[in-house]
């Protein structure tokens, strides 16, 4: 194709301009792609992790924080509640299933959750190898945690106080009795042990003084969840929160920032298109003689039109390709550097159909930017231009 | 072979060329003379199919080019006509070789490296093959433009004021080159010029008057 050769020649003729336009387009597409991957993946992860949990009840404090700590295992808990209170809720006739959990310890950044058998039922989790814990200081490991920590049934490990990496070490040894089958949800990243282990490592309180961090509840009907939430929030000192509501609230908080970023991405792509437009227009002005000569050598109007349009499209396509790659690299780098990003399930290694829309938008912008200069090239008066002084 | 009858061309509403009849035999060397503004460039543009006459017919090798649709005229020009223009001689964004390769591709010929080196060698500019036009001297650019015009082996070679910027020795050499190259590819040559130094080199001459 003659037009393709001309596009390549134009790029070789002005490599700096071409590189600048391509990079601008790449920057816009990269921001849009990273934003898309971030929101889609974290949204999916939060929806997935909260599946089957209609209500969380915990100590007084921010409901958002309670959900982030007890369901998504991202934030620190708000405090503890009395085990008796937790048991009273579990006994409510509207409750289908309830699991009291105890948080606070971790192994090299992976969280230990104290919970009874109801917790596995709530998360629909079953051991892939070994069995579920039955006695204090036995633990079953989620699929991801087991792989990353290299723990297998029969191994033992120390828990550390606190939820970050490298807290004070407890003296007691946990024994691994099983590894859970991967569920693609938060339980893959948890280490689960009976609540008694948590009490034992924290000074073995008397029967009446026993506490839990929160209760996860599945109600029989959605209406029951609303009613129970209302009762707990008005009638007790505890806080009840519904994970979908809190996730939505989180997204409305993050959403404002995401909207700003989206606007920024659109601005970048628009600026890239504008600079392509300006570049092609000045090319048309400065190289009008070239275009006329090209026609005089026998190129058709359609060829010169295609050469300019193709230049805009090729810049956009190259920029979009680089941008998609950069967006994925950015998300993957973020996921590897931050454990919070990992908890949100971010990965640069999977693509999303929405990227197709971003690429189409970039190509459309490039095409639009090149259209007017291309029409100008189509219309060049060859005889007139060739008889003008250079 | 060129056959023109009753040719009338106007630009911007004014008649710029009025040529009742003119014939050039195949393989002949023709010179078009006349004062500035008499329509020499206009005539070459009409012969190249770049300007459509208002009236009259222009036949090149038996093809009435005015009757061809624009894409067909473009293709005809690419395959059969080489033009050395008065000012715009080479594509500025391409090297000398790039210009030659493009001319070959537009004529639907393969960009044969041997053929290009051959032509550049004959015009004594093989060493300029990878240079950009703006780095060439006027004489070098002129020879490169001749190379570009003849590389695809045209049947008709048109040259507009090929000697205007050259000293006596170079003007002589440029005309020698054009005649030799036209003869080498068995093409008809039409040169437009008001340069008196080159008159006696041509067997066919046409003198244009400024139309009032
Ligand atoms: N685009 C145009 N619009 C109006 N008039 C034009 C246009 N192009 C050329 N002319 C006029 O047509 C006439 C012939 O022009 P042309 O360029 O053919 O002359 P020429 O013989 O080549 O002159 P020179 O020796 O100076 O190159 C001139 O009077 C010129 O002003
Ligand atoms: Mg002229």
- Name A382's bridge partners: none
Rama region for A340: left / alpha / beta (φ>0; ψ in -120 to 50; rest)? alpha
Query: Could you tell me which of A318, A246, A257 has the C-alpha nearest to residue A38?
Result: A257
Spatial separation of the C-alpha atoms in residues B158 and B161, rounded to whole Å? 10
If you write DSSP's letter for every residue of A212-241 in order, what string do you get? ESEEEEEESSHHHHHHHHHHHHHHSSSEEE
Mutate to test the interface with B, among A7, A387, A388, A389 (most CBs of B within 10 A): A387
Closest approach of B42 to chain A, Cα-based (Å): 8
Measure Cα distances from A152 to A12, A125, A126, A146, A178 in Å.
58, 17, 15, 7, 7
Residues of B within 8 A of A383 (CB-CB) are: 42, 45, 50-51
Q: Which pLDDT tens digits describe chain A residue by residue (390 residues)?
A: 788 888 888 888 889 999 999 999 999 999 999 999 988 888 888 878 888 899 999 999 999 999 989 988 888 888 889 888 989 998 999 999 999 999 988 888 889 999 988 999 998 899 999 999 998 899 999 998 999 899 999 999 988 887 666 556 666 789 999 999 988 788 888 999 999 888 887 776 666 778 899 999 999 998 999 999 999 999 899 999 999 888 888 777 777 777 888 888 899 899 999 999 999 999 899 889 999 999 999 999 999 999 999 999 999 999 999 999 999 999 999 988 877 777 777 888 888 999 999 999 999 999 999 999 999 999 999 999 988 876
Residues of A within 8 A of B87 (CB-CB) are: 289, 386-390
**pTM score:** 0.78
Q: Which residues of B touch A (CB under 8 A)?
A: 41-42, 45, 48, 50-51, 70-71, 74-79, 83, 85-94, 98, 102-103, 105-107, 148
Closest approach of B124 to chain A, Cα-based (Å): 23
Spatial separation of the C-alpha atoms in residues A181 and A143, rounded to whole Å? 6
Query: Could you tell me which of A164, A63, A60 has the C-alpha nearest to residue A110?
Result: A164
Ligand 1 site-directed mutation target among B13, B16, B84, most atoms within 8 Å of CB: B16
B105's tokens: 């591709």
What is the whole-number distance in angstroms between the Cα of residue B160 and the centre of ligand 2?
7
């Amino acid at each position: 194709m003659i037009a393709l050769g001309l596009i390549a020649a134009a790029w070789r003729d002005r490599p700096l301009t071409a590189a600048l336009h391509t990079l601008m387009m790449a920057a816009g597409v990269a921001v849009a792609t990273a934003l898309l991957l971030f929101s889609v993946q974290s949204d999916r992860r939060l929806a997935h992790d909260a599946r089957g949990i209609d209500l969380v009840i915990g100590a007084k404090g921010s409901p958002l924080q309670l959900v982030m700590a007890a369901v998504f295992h991202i934030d620190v808990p708000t405090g503890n509640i009395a085990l008796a209170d937790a048991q009273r809720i579990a006994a409510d006739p509207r409750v289908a299933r309830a699991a009291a959990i105890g948080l606070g310890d971790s192994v090299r950044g992976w969280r230990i959750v104290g919970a009874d058998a109801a917790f596995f039922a709530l998360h629909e989790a079953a051991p892939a190898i070994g069995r579920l814990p039955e006695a204090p200081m036995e633990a079953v490991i989620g699929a991801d945690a087991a792989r990353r920590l290299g723990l297998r049934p029969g191994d033992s490990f120390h828990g550390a106080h606190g939820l970050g990496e490298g807290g004070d070490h407890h003296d007691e040894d946990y024994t691994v009795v099983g590894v859970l089958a991967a569920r693609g949800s938060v339980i893959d990243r948890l280490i689960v042990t009976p609540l008694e282990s948590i009490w034992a490592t924290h000074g073995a309180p008397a029967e009446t003084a026993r506490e839990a961090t929160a209760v996860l509840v599945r109600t029989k009907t959605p209406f029951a969840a609303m009613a129970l939430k209302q009762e707990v929030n008005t009638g007790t000192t505890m806080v009840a929160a519904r994970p979908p509501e809190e996730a939505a609230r989180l997204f409305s908080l993050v959403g404002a920032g995401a909207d700003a970023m989206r606007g920024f991405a659109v601005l970048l792509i628009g600026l890239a298109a504008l600079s392509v437009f300006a570049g092609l227009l000045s090319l048309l002005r400065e190289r009008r003689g070239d275009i006329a000569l090209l026609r005089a050598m026998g190129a058709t109007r359609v060829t010169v039109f295609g050469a300019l349009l193709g230049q805009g499209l090729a810049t956009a396509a190259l920029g979009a390709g680089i941008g998609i790659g950069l967006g994925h690299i950015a998300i993957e780098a973020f996921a590897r550097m931050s454990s919070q990003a990992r908890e949100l399930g971010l990965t640069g290694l999977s693509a999303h159909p929405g990227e197709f829309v971003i690429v189409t938008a970039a190509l459309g912008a490039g095409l639009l930017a090149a259209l007017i200069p291309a029409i100008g090239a189509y219309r060049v008066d060859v005889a007139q231009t060739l008889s003008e002084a250079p | 072979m060129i056959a023109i009858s009753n040719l009338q061309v106007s630009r911007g509403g004014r008649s710029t060329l009025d040529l009742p009849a003119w014939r050039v035999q195949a393989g002949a060397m023709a010179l078009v003379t006349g004062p500035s503004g008499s329509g020499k460039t206009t005539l070459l543009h009409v012969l190249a199919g770049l300007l459509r006459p208002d009236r009259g017919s222009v036949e090149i090798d038996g093809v009435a080019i005015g009757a061809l649709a624009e894409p067909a005229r473009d293709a005809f020009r690419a395959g059969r006509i080489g033009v050395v223009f008065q000012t715009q001689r080479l594509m500025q964004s391409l090297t000398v070789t790039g210009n030659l390769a493009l001319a070959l591709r537009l004529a639907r010929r393969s960009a044969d490296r041997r053929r290009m080196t051959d032509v550049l060698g004959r015009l004594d500019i093989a060493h300029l093959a990878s240079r950009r036009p703006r780095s060439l001297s006027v004489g070098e650019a002129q020879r490169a433009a001749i190379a570009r015009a003849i590389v695809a082996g045209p049947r008709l070679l048109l040259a507009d004021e090929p000697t205007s910027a050259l000293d006596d020795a170079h003007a002589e050499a440029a005309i020698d080159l054009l005649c030799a190259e036209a003869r080498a590819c068995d093409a008809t040559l039409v040169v437009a010029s008001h340069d008196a130094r080159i008159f006696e080199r041509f067997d066919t001459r046409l003198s244009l008057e400024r139309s009032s």
